[in-house]
Structure 1
Amino acid sequence: MATNLDKMDTKSRDERRKARRAMYRKSEENNEETEPKKVKMSIRLIPIWLRLIIVVILISASLLAGLVVGYGILGNGEINDALKKSTWTHIVDLIEAD
């Protein structure tokens, strides 16, 4: 499925803004009663790639907080031990033991 990018309208945000302002000025000069067509544009304050990074960071932080609370507070263990590799290899060994 091929797309023809040459025929697509690829204007930048500034070009669209300038065209909209020019259309509004023309309507004022002609004393037209009708207003130019309003186009709703969404401007992202936070880019999508940054949103994804923030979500991954928040998920990781909540996972670590859950490990610390579950192992250290609810499990009556040491809070520092919750993040050690030896603790989790021991738990995996207990689960996989026959």
Structure 2
Amino acid sequence: MTNELKSESTQPKVPKKEKKEKRSDKHIDKPIRWYNFRLFPIWLRIILVIALLIIAGAAGLMVGFGVIGSGEPLDVLKQETWQHMLDIINGQE
């Protein structure tokens, strides 16, 4: 009997854990709302990407023709320049 008392007195007493409330228990009356808010609509994003691609392509052509090819950068945007390149490719000149 003394051994039982010693074993009980030496063991620390652990308080009982309280039941934790789940998130769903707290907010049953309030549904979670997901807002679908876009700053730019999809169609505007597509147009913006296409416009940026065209601008980047034109800038790349101007740098390549003007700096690397030692020509006039704005000449690359003229139709005569492209017609001349196509004539060279087709072997007409």
Unaligned runs of 5+ in 2: 1-24
**% identical equivalent positions:** 40
Residue matched to 1:48:
42
> How far did residue 37 of structure 1 move?
2.4
1:64 corresponds to which letter in structure 2?
Answer: A
Partner of 2:91: 97
**One-letter code of the match for 2:27?**
T
Unaligned runs of 5+ in 1: 1-31
2:47 partner amino acid:
I
Q: What do the CA deviations read for 1:30-81 (whole angstroms, capped 9, x no partner)? A: xx84242213222111011111111111011001101100101111111121
Residue 80 of structure 1 corresponds to: 74
- Rg comparison, structure with higher value: 2
CA distance in 1, matches of 2:50, 2:27: 48
State TM-score, norm by structure 2.
0.63
Letter in structure 2 aligned against 1:41: Y
Aligned residue runs from structure 1 range 2-13, under 5 A: none
Structure 1 equivalent of residue 3 of structure 2: none
Figure out how many residues of one structure are paired with residues of the other and give that number.
Answer: 67
